[in-house]
């Protein structure tokens, strides 16, 4: 006699994934629309912006110029395009967003292996072709570097958004996997910058290479002088990076020779920026806003 058995959790998860994937595939037969066609005829712009970073992928949904939703997903190079498709559909469903309502998309990626899966995700979910930020895109910002092709897409996006907002000389500090400092002239020219190890990378290196040091949360300690190992490590990570930021901004501003507004963005900006003396503004949505601006400039 065969006994009925309860399905395992892994089988249930697999069944749910297959169900959602089949649902996603229903949109694969939607008509294709090139990004240079603007929006689907008769519809207002509903733009899906994708910022693929080394640590996180940030999705933003714009209704015209207004950012109405954003989602953050861990970057996992082993995930397939189908898996990312399911994740995005679930996130949109949580906010009652219907995929056919999205009629435009743009992607900035610093992870080459994930650019094609994101492009396929856009096709499958929304039936449109995404604009991909890269060499040849109209940014409206001259890139005065030795090799403009080497400049990361996210850095150009951030610089474009910051200059559009402030119209002055800029140093843009992005606290990502790497901490980047990008310099923009008062004329709106991208001049180059600095790439330093990120706060999390430094914390991971400290934990990995020092046998007796524990992994700690990146958070402001109660005092600069740590009275235990945890607070001592946090002080080094947080106040150490405060000093890195202030020191580099001072040197950059001196070398540039013009007044600069210093704008910070990225996951740890709200933690580090208030402790510095040089950062003037924090904009959490700088990269997503820059993607919207670039999309609009490439429809003209």
Q: Domain 12-132 is classified in which CATH homologous superfamily?
A: ATPase, nucleotide binding domain (3.30.420.40)
Q: What is the pLDDT of residues 46-105, one digit of tens each?
A: 999 999 999 999 999 999 999 999 999 999 998 888 899 999 999 999 999 999 999 999
Of residues 37 and 91, more confidently modeled: 91
Rounded CA-CA distance 27/183 in Å is: 42
Q: Predicted confidence band at 300 (pLDDT cuts at 50, 70, 90)? A: low
Cα angle value 185/153/295 (rounded, 5°): 90
Rounded CA-CA distance 128/48 in Å is: 10
H or E stretch covering 69: strand 66-74
Of residues 196 and 23, more confidently modeled: 196
Q: Do 82 and 18 meet the contact criterion of CB atoms below 8 Å apart?
A: no
Main-chain dihedrals φ then ψ at residue 203, nearest 5 degrees: -65, -45
DSSP sequence for 193-221: EEEEE-HHHHHHHHHHH-TTPPP------
Which part of the chain has CATH 3.30.420.40?
A: 12-132, 148-297
Q: Predicted confidence band at 109 (pLDDT cuts at 50, 70, 90)? A: very high
Catalytic residue (choose from 51, 154, 174, 283): 154
Q: Do 165 and 261 meet the contact criterion of CB atoms below 8 Å apart?
A: no
Q: Do 160 and 172 meet the contact criterion of CB atoms below 8 Å apart?
A: no
> Is residue 154 annotated as a catalytic residue, yes or no?
yes
Rounded CA-CA distance 30/49 in Å is: 20
Short-list 282, 299, 292, 283, CA closest to 65: 292
In CATH, the architecture of 148-297 is 2-Layer Sandwich (3.30)
Q: Would you say residue 297 has pLDDT above 50?
A: yes
Main-chain dihedrals φ then ψ at residue 195, nearest 5 degrees: -120, 120
Q: What is the pLDDT of residues 209-237, one digit of tens each?
A: 998 899 999 999 999 999 999 999 999 99
Mean pLDDT of the chain: 87
Q: Would you say residue 17 has pLDDT above 60?
A: no
């Amino acid at each position: 006699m065969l006994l009925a058995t309860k399905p395992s959790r892994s089988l249930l998860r697999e069944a749910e994934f297959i169900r959602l994937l089949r649902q996603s595939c229903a949109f694969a037969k939607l008509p294709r629309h090139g990004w240079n066609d603007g929006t689907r005829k008769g519809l207002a712009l509903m733009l899906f912006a994708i910022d693929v970073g080394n640590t996180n992928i940030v999705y933003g949904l714009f209704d015209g110029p207004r950012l109405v939703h954003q989602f953050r997903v861990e970057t996992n190079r082993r995930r397939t395009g189908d898996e990312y498709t399911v994740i995005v559909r679930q996130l949109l469903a949580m906010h009652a967003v219907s995929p056919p309502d999205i009629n435009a998309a743009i992607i900035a990626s610093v992870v080459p292996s994930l650019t094609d899966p994101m492009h396929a995700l856009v096709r499958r979910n929304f039936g449109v072709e995404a604009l991909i930020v890269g060499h040849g895109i109209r940014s409206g910002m001259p890139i005065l570097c030795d090799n403009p092709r080497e400049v990361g897409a996210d850095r150009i996006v951030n610089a474009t958004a910051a200059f559009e907002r402030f119209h002055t000389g800029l140093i843009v500090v992005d606290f990502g996997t790497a901490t980047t400092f990008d310099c923009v002239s008062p004329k709106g020219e991208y001049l180059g910058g600095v790439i330093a190890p990120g706060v999390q990378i430094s914390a991971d290196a400290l934990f990995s290479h020092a046998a007796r040091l524990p992994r700690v949360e990146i958070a402001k300690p109660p005092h600069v002088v740590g009275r235990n190992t945890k607070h001592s490590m946090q002080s080094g990570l947080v106040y150490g990076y405060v000093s890195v930021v202030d020191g580099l901004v001072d040197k950059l501003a001196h070398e540039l020779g013009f007044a600069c507004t210093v704008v910070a963005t990225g996951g740890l900006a709200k933690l580090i920026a208030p402790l510095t003396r040089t950062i003037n503004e924090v904009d959490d949505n700088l990269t997503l806003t820059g993607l919207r601006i670039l999309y609009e400039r490439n429809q003209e």
